[in-house]
Amino acid sequence: MSIAKIVIFGSGSFGTALASLVAANAREVVILTRRMDVANGINRSHRNPMHLSAFTLPTNVRATTEAKEAVRDAYAIVHAIPTQHSEGFLLTVREHIEVKTLMICCAKGLDERTLELAHETFARVLGIGHPCAFFGGPTFARELIQGTPSGGVMAARDMTTAERAAACFRGPTMRVYPSTDVVGVEIGGALKNVIAILCGGLEGMGLGVNAQTLLVTRGCREIMRFGVAMGAREHTMWGLSGVGDLMLTCLGNASRNKAVGIAFGKGQNIKDILDARAQTLEGVAEGVATAPAAERLAAKLGIEAPMIATCAACLRGELDASEALQRCMALPIKPDEPLINEKDRRASRATPSIAALCLATLIMNLVVTVVVSKKMRALGK
């Protein structure tokens, strides 16, 4: 496959790794960055001086700070801007994006202000005419740029768009599965970051695999509860963009969200942790903003998400790591039953059982028999 031009929004670690990945499928890859020093470094030495600087980028990758020039004649745009900054960034560039251009969003999280997933933000800011796809899966930036065998899921409203977008990422070391379950892919990618903060907290406290496995498994259940309530397919969240991404973020050493949790579990003040990270190039831990947003979304959806609420309380400074653990371990234990969304629940309530149908039929037959019998007696008289 030879695509003329693919544009990357964002020059952080993930955007840089994605530029290297898609370079195998395009004649030209352009990274749009706000930093002139980053653009100069990439154009002069084929290295990003700020992120993943040890890796040489393919020669068909260049960078610019000019949005209009970057997106001109682009076949696809890969959006690698953190969720909390996505709307603001898109507002500055949307006038230059053609309606036919394929948008591929790789941001993971819930907008803390609107509680929107990325597909909702994209539709509101760009309009519904743009073909958009949403990528999720266990993909650390460093391993992507190293060429480690990896995989993910590309979701869009229609399979044709999902296939087009997946083709931009596929290669000898990358498997991408198309899907039409946009919500399922996005909710898994958003909420796994919250569970990873809690998992890091356990590790920081010195607790072992039993505790972490318990947390990750029940965290997966909470994520699925969100997804099913929002109309997602449960099997999507059992796949690469759900359980796969959750495992990577909770168990991998390169997880930024887990790093926040580890420091918290060791007793550091949460404000000090976040302030220190803001002064470095360690990157955005999306779960920090997503946790309180998810807590509010759970209330809006009418679902229980006690572990996500516990994480939000920790981030507000209301609980320390030990108190958070005690709260989670004291949660009521309920039967382990299949999830069902509210739509199906209403349908099941509205649909009579077989026994009820049989009883209704019997009653109707009795009524008909009585009526007919009365009429026959009347005619006989």
Q: What is the pLDDT of residue 284?
A: 74
Residues 130 and 223 in one domain: no
Tokens of 4: 């003329």
Q: What is the pLDDT of residue 129?
A: 86
Q: What is the pLDDT of residue 340?
A: 63
Looking at the predicted structure, is the pLDDT value of residue 360 above 70? no
CA 83, 89, 93, 95 dihedral sign is: positive
Q: What is the pLDDT of residue 281?
A: 65
Residues 110 and 217 in one domain: no
C-beta of residue 104 within 8 angstroms of C-beta of residue 76: yes
Residues 39 and 147 in one domain: yes
Band (pLDDT 50/70/90 cuts) for residue 291 is very high
Tokens of 83: 């969720």
Tokens of 63: 């960078």
Residues 131 and 190 in one domain: no
Residues 126 and 176 in one domain: yes
Residues 100 and 140 in one domain: yes
Please state, in angstroms and rounded to a whole number, the distance separating the CA atoms of residues 20 and 147. Answer: 9
Q: What is the pLDDT of residue 372?
A: 43
Looking at the predicted structure, is the pLDDT value of residue 357 above 80? no
Q: What is the pLDDT of residue 74?
A: 97
pLDDT tens across 50-79, in order?
999 999 999 999 999 999 999 999 999 999
Q: Which of the following is catalytic: 5, 100, 108, 192?
A: 192
Q: What is the pLDDT of residue 303?
A: 95
DSSP label of 34:
S
Structural domain contains residue 373: no
Please state, in angstroms and rounded to a whole number, the distance separating the CA atoms of residues 234 and 245. Answer: 15
Band (pLDDT 50/70/90 cuts) for residue 368 is very low
Last residue of a domain, which of 180, 205, 239?
A: 180
Q: Residue 377 corresponds to which amino acid?
A: R
Domain at 286, CATH number: 1.10.1040.10
Residues 168 and 241 in one domain: no
How many domains does the structure of the chain reveal?
Answer: 2
Looking at the predicted structure, is the pLDDT value of residue 370 above 80? no
Looking at the predicted structure, is the pLDDT value of residue 101 above 80? yes
C-beta of residue 93 within 8 angstroms of C-beta of residue 120: no
Looking at the predicted structure, is the pLDDT value of residue 347 above 80? no
pLDDT tens across 175-219, in order?
999 999 999 999 999 999 999 999 999 999 999 999 999 999 999
Please state, in angstroms and rounded to a whole number, the distance separating the CA atoms of residues 44 and 31. Answer: 14
Structural domain contains residue 372: no
pLDDT tens across 252-288, in order?
888 999 999 999 999 999 999 999 888 776 667 899 9
C-beta of residue 144 within 8 angstroms of C-beta of residue 78: no
Q: Which domain holds residue 327?
A: 184-343
Residue 300 designated active-site: no
How far is C-alpha 2 from the chain's CA centre? Answer: 29
Q: Residue 12 corresponds to which amino acid?
A: G
Residue carrying structure tokens 């470094």: 41
Structural domain contains residue 40: yes
Domain at 30, CATH number: 3.40.50.720
Q: What is the pLDDT of residue 338?
A: 81
Residues 194 and 115 in one domain: no
Helices (H), ranges, the chain: 13-22, 36-45, 67-71, 83-93, 118-126, 141-146, 159-169, 182-204, 209-229, 234-237, 245-251, 256-265, 270-278, 287-301, 306-315, 321-329, 342-350, 354-380
User: Do β-strands 76-79 and 61-64 pair in parallel, antiparallel, or remain unpaired?
Assistant: unpaired
Question: Nearest CA to 166 among 78, 246, 57?
Answer: 78
Mean pLDDT of 89-104: 96
pLDDT tens across 4-37, in order?
999 999 999 999 999 999 999 999 999 999 999 9
| Cβ neighbours of 160 (radius 10 Å) | 11
